[in-house]
Amino acid sequence: MEKLIGLKKIKTAVFISGTGSNLKNLIKFAKIKKTPISINLVISNTHKAKGLKYADQSNIKKKIFNFHNISNAEKKILTLLKKEKIKFICLAGFMKILSSNFIKKFGGKIINIHPSLLPKYKGLNTHIRAIANKDKFAGCTIHYVTAKLDSGKIIIQKKITVAAKDNPTSLAKKVLKQEHKFYPAAIIKIFN
């Protein structure tokens, strides 16, 4: 736990690859009074990420990096993060795995949101796997990012009940609703 010094907000970058509903929600959260963060940068590995429009709508700087050469992309991102004085990174549906070198060199906190009750269902297709296994519970986890995929220390986990009639799509929708509630809660927990 860390105390916020004065009213200075922590300069944050959000990394996305897709729809960006969590980005949209974090932008909203960064505008409320009690928020510890300001969102100053949005990074994507693809121009196709629909969520990039939320950066435009809120006049937040956005930048797309081609990950064909990962170390090259990470080097460029680190330079930009330094230039923008970014101290905190929120991964929100970012589909690339950051290297241990990147994590070390960034030096600040990096967190991620994952749509399962980790350590269950690391990686992709979490809802398909939960339904296939007839799980009674599902949920989302916000955790620190380490070089090992979806394995860093858990900050907050929210459990929900899977209904008998749920399918992967309905479950994803239910979990996403909780993600939007608990990603901000995890950030408050870290910095307050």
Q: Which residues bind ligand GRF (CB under 6 A)?
A: 16, 18-22, 51, 92-93, 113-115, 140, 176, 179
Residue found by looking up tokens 């993600």 in the block: 179
Contact call for residues 110 and 127 (beta carbons, < 8 A):
no
Q: How far is 172 from 186, CA to CA, in rounded Å?
A: 20
Residue found by looking up tokens 């008998």 in the block: 164
Annotation says 127 is catalytic: no
For ligand GRF, give the closer residue by CB, 172 or 190.
172
Shortest separation between residue 25's beta carbon and ligand GRF, angstroms: 8
Q: What are the start-end ranges of the E strands in the chain?
A: 10-16, 37-44, 61-64, 88-91, 109-114, 137-144, 154-161
For ligand GRF, give the closer residue by CB, 79 or 137.
137
For ligand GRF, give the closer residue by CB, 36 or 93.
93
- Catalytic one among 114, 127, 143, 180? 114
**Nearest residue to the partner ligand GRF, using Cβ:** 93
Shortest separation between residue 10's beta carbon and ligand GRF, angstroms: 20
Shortest separation between residue 6's beta carbon and ligand GRF, angstroms: 31
For ligand GRF, give the closer residue by CB, 108 or 168.
168
57: CB partners within 8 A, 6+ apart: none
Contact call for residues 190 and 155 (beta carbons, < 8 A):
yes
CA nearest neighbour of 16 among 56, 47, 60: 47
Shortest separation between residue 113's beta carbon and ligand GRF, angstroms: 4
User: Which sequence positions are flagged as catalytic?
Assistant: 114
